[in-house]
Amino acid sequence: MAFVTRQFVRSVSSSSTASASAKKIIVKHVTVIGGGLMGAGIAQVAAATGHTVVLVDQTEDILAKSKKGIEESLRRVAKKKFAENPKAGDEFVEKTLSSISTSTDAASVVHSTDLVVEAIVENLKAKNELFKRLDKFASEHTIFASNTSSLQITNIANATTRQDRFAGLHFFNPVPLMKLVEVIKTPMTSQKTYESLIDFTKVLGKHPVSCKDTPGFIVNRLLLPYLMEAIRLYERGDASKEDIDTAMKLGAGYPLGPFELLDYVGLDTTKFIMDGWYEMDPKNPLFQPIPSLNKLVAENKFGKKSGEGYYKYK
């Protein structure tokens, strides 16, 4: 009897697993909204792994630059990957590019897509307006995902009627090289959606990690407070920024010191994220405003991209 019971339980369990797996969405067609560095990178890795991709942005000029950037990136990848067979490398580049089409009208291309990945400006109103509009035109099975690094996924998903088919997919820059993707599951995200996105990121050749919809997710929630504490250490006069950078590179094995990383990421970007977190939780000591950061941003000193931040660049 015990044997029969075990067999029955095993059979039911196997059937349930198979049934759950059958319900998952196999992503084949991807629409990427935003042709900047992140959006173009996501489009590239999706197309390179056999997906049909539509890249969307506001103007044809932006899309032409995005497509050119993707081609240049693909040629770098091909040169390394197909070093012994340049012809195969050329074929890889051409095949990948042929899988990417472009459009300036998102609503007209989402009707047949399996997944929409948004990578536009970090502005909640802009994201809400975009998803609210696309929600009316996308197929019922279509999953929506945001690549936001600082906004809460729940607040973006609430602009739609598909909260169960909405999640975060946080890629890292540069997308073709960075292996990590944070998959963010809100309280409303269905298990089917979550598992579909985990499978999708694995097909891309990425390593997915799961996180709840908490400010900064995993990486930024740990990284940003570390960067802020480095600034506070410097502001108190406890150590010079040069010595802090050197200490973290030689003592912790980090490739960049905190001030080098701040200047690389962009002080305006960092301030924007920290301001958002402070607004959400003003009593959290980790999120308190940083005087020197605020001063530099007010002076338009954003780091490497502006020529000066915590360091000066020629």
- pLDDT category at 314 given cuts 50, 70, 90 is confident
User: Any idea what DSSP says for residue 5?
Assistant: H
Instruction: Dump pLDDT digits (tens) for 182-195.
Output: 999 999 999 999 99
Tens digit of pLDDT for each residue in 222-258?
999 999 999 999 999 999 999 999 999 999 999 999 9
The response to whether 79 counts as a known ligand-binding position is no
Sign of the four-CA dihedral 186, 192, 194, 197: negative
From residue 60, give the alpha-carbon distance in Å to each of 39, 41, 71, 104, 274: 15, 18, 16, 7, 33
What is the model's pTM?
0.87
What is the residue extent of each domain of the chain?
25-212, 220-306
| 28 against 24, higher pLDDT | 28
Q: Could you tell me which of 66, 54, 62 has the C-alpha nearest to residue 29? A: 54
| Tokens 């979550």 belong to residue | 194
Q: Is the pLDDT of residue 9 over 60?
A: no
What is residue 23's predicted lDDT score, i.e. its pLDDT? 79
The catalytic site residues sit at: 149, 170, 182, 220
Per-residue pLDDT reduced to its tens digit, 275-307: 999 998 999 999 999 999 999 999 999 999 999
Query: CB-based contacts of 286: which residues, under 8 Å, 6+ apart?
Result: 225, 228
Whether the predicted pLDDT of 162 surpasses 50? yes
C-alpha neighbours within 13 Å on the C-beta side of residue 59? 3
Indicate if the pLDDT at residue 142 is higher than 80: yes
The answer to whether the annotation marks 179 as part of a ligand binding site is: no
Q: Give the span between the Cα atoms of 139 and 137, in whole angstroms.
A: 7
> Does 50 appear as a known binding residue?
no
237 annotated to bind ligand: no
Q: How many CB atoms lie within 10 A of CB 8?
A: 10
The CATH code of domain 220-306 reads 1.10.1040.10
| Residue (of 48, 45, 62, 60) closest to 98 by Cα position | 48
Q: Do domains 25-212 and 220-306 have the same CATH topology?
A: no
In whole angstroms, what is the distance from residue 244 CA to residue 241 CA? 5
The pLDDT of 43-48, averaged and rounded, is 98
Give me the amino acid identity at 281: D
pLDDT interval class at 16 (50, 70, 90): very low
Q: What is the pLDDT of residue 259?
A: 98
Q: How many residues are listed for the chain in this entry? A: 314
Give the architecture (CATH level 2) of 25-212.
3-Layer(aba) Sandwich (3.40)
- Of 15 and 267, the one with more pLDDT: 267
Question: Is 24 labelled a binding residue?
Answer: no
Q: Is 312 annotated as a binding residue?
A: no
Locate all alpha helices (DSSP H) within 152-218, ordered by sequence. 153-157, 191-203
